[in-house]
Amino acid sequence: MKSLEELLQPIDDVIKLKSQLVDVFKKIIVDEFELLKKAALATYEDATHEESKAENEYDTRGLEASYLAGAQGKRLVEIEEVHAAFKFLKIKDLSKTKIIELSALVEVRQGKQVRYLFLVPKGGGLQTQFRNLKIQIIASDSPLGEALLGLSEGDEAVIDSNNQQQNIYLVNSVL
């Protein structure tokens, strides 16, 4: 099986490669922000429109629209925080130390499944195709992120779930 380094060839500069990956994720975040901003504005206009006033005690259209507008506003703040985290992320070349820390690009194996993860402070769950690999963001404060921090190639990340079942991830490669 090919290593992460072999799959991402050519790698002239790990920091440049990760910077390109960060740029891809930042574009996804900005696009999501713009889309949500338009939706939030439309919801706000709907919530404050004259036709949204309750016609009787059971008419909750305006109330529901205001709750939705509030939730969308909170999500916009969260997306701004994720964007700031990417903007100020210190990208490091970890190909020599092979120790997982923020900005690590990691290949893990869980059973027969191989996953490619990028460890950042916020924004967990986002995914993209990058150089023919599906790469997922893992937030450092998530259970998997916390389990991976400080590990190196060959180590196992163990996550205990509520029902006492363990998820074990073998760290194959770190950049």
pLDDT tens digit sequence for 35-44? 988 888 887 7
Lowest mean pLDDT among 11-20, 27-36, 47-56, 143-152: 47-56
pLDDT above 90 (res 169): no
**Domain spanning 105-174, CATH class:** alpha beta
- pLDDT-above-90 percentage for the chain: 45
Q: Which of the four pLDDT bands, split at 50, 70 and 90, describes residue 13?
A: confident
What average pLDDT does range 72-87 have in this prediction? 90
List the Cα angle 68/74/76 in 5-degree steps: 105
pLDDT above 60 (res 52): no
Token pair of 30 as six digits: 């900005």
Tens digit of pLDDT for each residue in 97-146?
999 999 999 999 998 999 999 999 998 889 999 988 899 999 999 999 99
More confident residue, 7 or 160: 160
CB-based contacts of 151-159 (< 8 A; 24+ apart in sequence): 151/99, 151/100, 152/97, 152/98, 152/99, 152/100, 153/98, 157/108
Average pLDDT for the chain: 85
Q: How far is CA 160 from the centre of its chain?
A: 21
pLDDT above 70 (res 9): no
Token pair of 139 as six digits: 């937030």
pLDDT above 70 (res 47): no
- Where do the domains of the chain lie? 14-87, 105-174
What average pLDDT does range 42-69 have in this prediction? 69
